[in-house]
Amino acid sequence: MASNRNSSRHQTARHRLSVIAGHLQRPADSNAAVLAVECKAQEIKPTVKTGDKSEGRTVPRRRQEIMKWNGWGYSDSRFLFNKKGQAEFTGRRYRLSGMIIPNLKDWFEGTFGANLQHKTPATPILNSSAVQRPTLNEVFVEELKSTGIPFSHEAEDRVFRSHGHCLHEIFALREGKIGRLPDMVIWPNCHNDVVKIVELACKHNVCLIPYGGGTSVSSALECPPEETRSIVSLDTSQMNRILWIDEKNLTAHVESGIVGQDLERLLNESGYCTGHEPDSMEFSSLGGWVATRASGMKKNIYGNIEDLVVHIKMVTPRGVIEKSCQGPRMSMGPDIHHFILGSEGTLGVVTEVTMKIRPMPEYQKYGSVVFPSFEQGVACLREVARQRCAPASIRLMDNEQFKFGHALKPQVSSIFTSFLDGLKTFYITKFKGFDPNRLCVATLLFEGDRERVLQHEKQVYDIAAKFGGLAAGEDNGQRGYMLTFVIAYLRDLGMDYYVIGESFETSVPWDRVLDICRNVKARIIRECKDKGVQFPPLSTCRVTQTYDAGACVYFYFAFNYRGLSDPVHVYEQVEHAAREEILANGGSLSHHHGVGKLRKEWMRETVSNVGVGMLKSVKDYVDPNNIFGNRNLL
């Protein structure tokens, strides 16, 4: 182990390691510099059920066994209003699980004008008769059988892979409506399996759609309705191993199907981490990150996915693309990795990735700062970026989102804590004169060795003080981050009560941050009014990432759709308008969600004709028969 300063964590890791050591067939002796694992397909007879093999991993082949088929996340975790009308979060997986959230109901009713009496429950179980019969390419299926790669054409498996998590996709599922969906799902176990599948698909002209974590919010997983060939969903979830860890160069070679939480947990066991933590990291996969140019909240320390990858292996209809070495930087013409990063499954399947790893940080500390206004908050973030002293994560939530976060405060057990809370509120609003309807909060996360974290913390708080910021405690900070993990669960709750919503993001130069936030929020409110939405919408934003030359801004938008005949259409019109507004204000088409099919109409104006032509010619060369036919991007 590289680090043994934190001995308690080290011991936990060792314990966990020993539990699954046998399964991994890896010596628990962690002094080995290189740990190698071979392809499962070579060690396991194809007839053997591989279900037990995924023990310790989050994602089973039959995902619907632990995850919702028509909503976000685990089946056992959801928000609901109990008989007393109090909100609670079920399950045992999260910090919030099993807790009562007393303020949520008032916030929910107050913000949306929703009413607990007016429910819109989802269709509870999938009606298989509503599912189209699969169009199978018989020869392909025959030849596939002979390879021994597991596959399925059961309705439940196919429906699960027919969508991402866009509002319109989830809304349709809740109503039991299912459109074009994959005809078959395949679970390759390793790179070689993928090579075989792609060869067969080319041979028999079958359309392949790679499927990683299924957390797309760009309609990227939607099957093109005009596709007449058999569509095969290539689920990478079983390619989920760390093949080796190179402690001398601090890299790890990982199969692309591994989801974020598994990757992080397994690396932690060896004392390492990637530090790549997108909000969807519980479910999104490494391959998906590469294919969409993902960004993690701690990118200030670790970098975004393009900074993290050292080597990528991708299977395309033309063959396998990869570099011959692992040099840290190269000057060899345009970087071929950049054809792969952000290709959104249109060129091939990413199978293996070598990425940088870091020793686990010794010390982590949350923090938060309250600012009297959003303007001052943005000015502070800008200054932090100017001095290049951003902590692992720094986010600035606007007033609405601050209130939202506040509504998620779990019930406090002691009178003392609630008294303290009251005192804090009093201090900020009365003593310091902050307007509760204008103030906003920045949440912080520091990482590193203890001394430096404390030093760093002081530096950041000093800057904040210059902009009128007041330190507001670790708890507020941590809750801020929690909001991003549970927001998707909250959307499901909203959808039970006539409230629909979604998030979208952009990146924008510093001088336009305030303007874009104000204008996009105002545009959303105006459009909702014009489109006949009866209640004022929730239109809120936060600045989630800082860069030298700009920032990433993230918007939440939700409204109560009672009285609308086609709420999804209204929603889409408003989102469309909001995106136009973003582009008109100098924002980018996407910072990390990707383009998919949802935003491809704007590709030409954002990357120019020549740009589109370049991308198109790559596609034409790599995949002339459009085997990877999800029609994203172009």
83 bridge partner residues: none
Q: Give the separation between CA 31 and CA 555, rounded to whole angstroms.
A: 46
3 binds other proteins (CB under 8 A): no
Name the DSSP letter for residue 25: T
Look up residue 10 and give its amino acid: H
Of residues 15 and 466, the one with the C-beta less far from other proteins:
466
349 binds other proteins (CB under 8 A): no
Shortest Å, Cβ 517 to other proteins: 11
Q: What are phi and psi of 77, to 5 degrees?
A: -110, 115
Q: Give the separation between CA 34 and CA 354, rounded to whole angstroms.
A: 13
Q: For residues 135-194, which are near other proteins according to CB under 8 A? A: none
Among 583, 607, 612, 634, binds other proteins (CB under 8 A): 583
Pick from 601, 600, 598: which is nearest to 216 by CA? 598
Shortest Å, Cβ 515 to other proteins: 5
585 binds other proteins (CB under 8 A): yes
- Is 211 catalytic? The answer is no
Q: Give the separation between CA 331 and CA 273, rounded to whole angstroms.
A: 28
List all residues 6 or more positions away from 422 whose beta carbon is below 8 Å from its beta carbon: none
Q: For residues 504-543, which are near other proteins according to CB under 8 A? A: 511-512, 515-516, 518-519, 522-523
Alpha-carbon distances, residue 272 vs 264, 290, 361, 559 (angstroms): 8, 20, 9, 42
- Residue identified by tokens 């959801």 is 78
Six-digit token string for 617 = 């010619």
Of residues 389 and 583, the one with the C-beta less far from other proteins:
583
Shortest Å, Cβ 511 to other proteins: 7
Of residues 173 and 551, the one with the C-beta less far from other proteins:
551
Of residues 291 and 578, the one with the C-beta less far from other proteins:
578
Q: Which of 74, 94, 497, 554 is catalytic?
A: 554
Q: Are 13 and 265 in contact (CB under 8 A)?
A: no
List all residues 6 or more positions away from 51 whose beta carbon is below 8 Å from its beta carbon: 60, 61
584 binds other proteins (CB under 8 A): yes
459 binds other proteins (CB under 8 A): no
Shortest Å, Cβ 564 to other proteins: 23
Of residues 60 and 586, the one with the C-beta less far from other proteins:
586
Of residues 382 and 523, the one with the C-beta less far from other proteins:
523
3-class secondary-structure state, position 374? helix
Pairing verdict, β 358-359 and 363-371 = unpaired
Of residues 583 and 607, the one with the C-beta less far from other proteins:
583
Shortest Å, Cβ 522 to other proteins: 4
Pick from 57, 29, 58: which is nearest to 247 by CA? 29
Q: 115-124 b/e with 16+ CB inside 10 Å = b?
A: eeeeebebee
Shortest Å, Cβ 299 to other proteins: 24
Of residues 118 and 529, the one with the C-beta less far from other proteins:
529
Q: Give the separation between CA 79 and CA 502, rounded to whole angstroms.
A: 17
601 binds other proteins (CB under 8 A): no
462 binds other proteins (CB under 8 A): no
40 bridge partner residues: none
Q: What is the DSSP string of 581-592?
A: HHHHTT--S-SS
Of residues 511 and 566, the one with the C-beta less far from other proteins:
511
Of 181-189, 355-363, 462-470, 578-586, the segment contacting other proteins by CB under 8 A is 578-586
Packing angle between helix 167-174 and helix 474-496, nearest 10 degrees?
50
Compute the radius of gyration of the chain from its Cα atoms. 24
549 binds other proteins (CB under 8 A): no
3-class secondary-structure state, position 443? strand
540 bridge partner residues: 556
Alpha-carbon distances, residue 630 vs 210, 218, 233, 286 (angstroms): 9, 12, 10, 19
Q: How many residues form the binding site for other proteins (CB under 8 A)?
A: 14
Alpha-carbon distances, residue 463 vs 57, 371, 386 (angstroms): 43, 12, 11
Q: Site map for other proteins, 260-279, x if CB under 8 A?
A: --------------------
Shortest Å, Cβ 512 to other proteins: 7
Largest separation between any pair of C-alpha atoms in the chain? 76
Alpha-carbon distances, residue 561 vs 225, 237, 356, 500, 532 (angstroms): 27, 36, 46, 7, 9
Q: Site map for other proteins, 370-389, x if CB under 8 A?
A: ---x----------------
Q: Give the separation between CA 574 and CA 119, rounded to whole angstroms.
A: 24
Of residues 513 and 564, the one with the C-beta less far from other proteins:
513
Name the DSSP letter for residue 431: I
Of residues 585 and 630, the one with the C-beta less far from other proteins:
585
List all residues 6 or more positions away from 215 whose beta carbon is below 8 Å from its beta carbon: 164, 165, 280, 283, 284, 288
Binding residues for other proteins, per CB under 8 A?
373, 511-512, 515-516, 518-519, 522-523, 583-586, 605
Q: What are the catalytic residues?
A: 554
